[in-house]
Copies of this chain bind each other. A is one copy, B any other.
């Protein structure tokens, strides 16, 4: 079992053990998390998202170096989509990041959801709390934009960077998917490819349109998303990107928006915990219940269809007060 005091001291082994408990959905994680929670809330959480192939991992790698130059302690959560096929390639990217493995101020964890009720979203949030309590200045969370509709990185991060590459019409796709609303920094990576300036132009225009809409209805100070070009492979533009993220964080703090974000996030976290704890409570109760067993048997013998059976259990065995 990881010791709370070791985690709070930033001990990577203790942190890794704690995160493993979270990933496994172990009931042991919960009381520990409760103790760590009051020590969290200081880190700057950055989400990096985009389709496979836009070079997210290379960009993360370059960002780590940049933030290290600024003497920041960095933790990385790479959210693995538990892909049956692409797992290998992703692991390769992770390995590349391991060049930071000997740097004690950098801590990289690859996440997969195994068993936890709330899935990747809950596990990632819980892990961010641990890393935050460990004292990292910056937590970078990398997610795949595609195929994870339910994983809302914007609700976890202070700042969300959306990565695309030139000439894929990502700008228009971003509008369609509503992702334009969630981005604070738009990154056109592999910017030496043809069409980079057109991508920047299209994104800038769409951000302008988005902001005109919100400016009218909301008079409070508003961050205007920036569009940056990078070539992560040789580090081009990554210093500016790091600066941009840091000035976004300053902007949020100066306008008390970090507090507002925190309140929103806490309510969301509470609701997702409530769902997960409820399902866990029900699961362990049902497993021990002869009444539940009887219902399961009736489904097997076709005395009851699964829909009526579920309705019956919910109506008779779950009381709210």
Question: Could you tell me which A residues sit within 8 Å of B by CB distance?
Answer: 30, 33-34, 37-38, 49-52, 81-88, 112-113, 119-120, 144-150, 164, 168-170, 172-174, 176-179, 263, 266-267, 269-270, 273-275, 277-279, 281-282, 285-286, 295-296, 299-300, 305-311, 313-314, 317-321
Minimum Cβ distance to chain B for residue A33 (Å): 6
Minimum Cβ distance to chain B for residue A149 (Å): 3
Residue of B nearest to A113 (CB): B149
Q: Is the CB of B149 within 8 A of A34?
A: no
Known contacts being A51-B86, A278-B282, A296-B267, is A37 close to B177, with CB within 8 Å? no
Q: Is the CB of B34 within 8 A of A85?
A: no
- B contact residues around A172 at 8 Å (CB): 88
Known contacts being A119-B150, A274-B310, is A85 close to B173, with CB within 8 Å? yes
Residue of B nearest to A308 (CB): B34
In the bound complex, CA of A317 to CA of B321 (Å):
5
In the bound complex, CA of A37 to CA of B308 (Å):
10
- B contact residues around A274 at 8 Å (CB): 282, 286, 310, 313-314
- B contact residues around A112 at 8 Å (CB): 149
Q: Is the CB of B37 within 8 A of A273?
A: no
Minimum Cβ distance to chain B for residue A51 (Å): 4
Minimum Cβ distance to chain B for residue A16 (Å): 21
Known contacts being A88-B169, A88-B173, is A318 close to B317, with CB within 8 Å? no
Q: Is the CB of B313 within 8 A of A50?
A: no
- B contact residues around A81 at 8 Å (CB): 146-149
Minimum Cβ distance to chain B for residue A133 (Å): 13
Q: Is the CB of B317 within 8 A of A320?
A: yes
Q: Is the CB of B85 within 8 A of A174?
A: yes
Q: Is the CB of B88 within 8 A of A306?
A: no
- B contact residues around A313 at 8 Å (CB): 274
In the bound complex, CA of A112 to CA of B148 (Å):
11
Q: Is the CB of B306 within 8 A of A146?
A: no
- B contact residues around A87 at 8 Å (CB): 173, 176-177
* Most chain B CB inside 10 Å of its own CB: which residue of A82, A150, A266, A267: A266
Q: Is the CB of B320 within 8 A of A84?
A: no
Contact of A113 among B30, B150, B173, B282 (CB under 8 A): B150
Residue of B nearest to A146 (CB): B83
- B contact residues around A314 at 8 Å (CB): 274, 277-278, 281
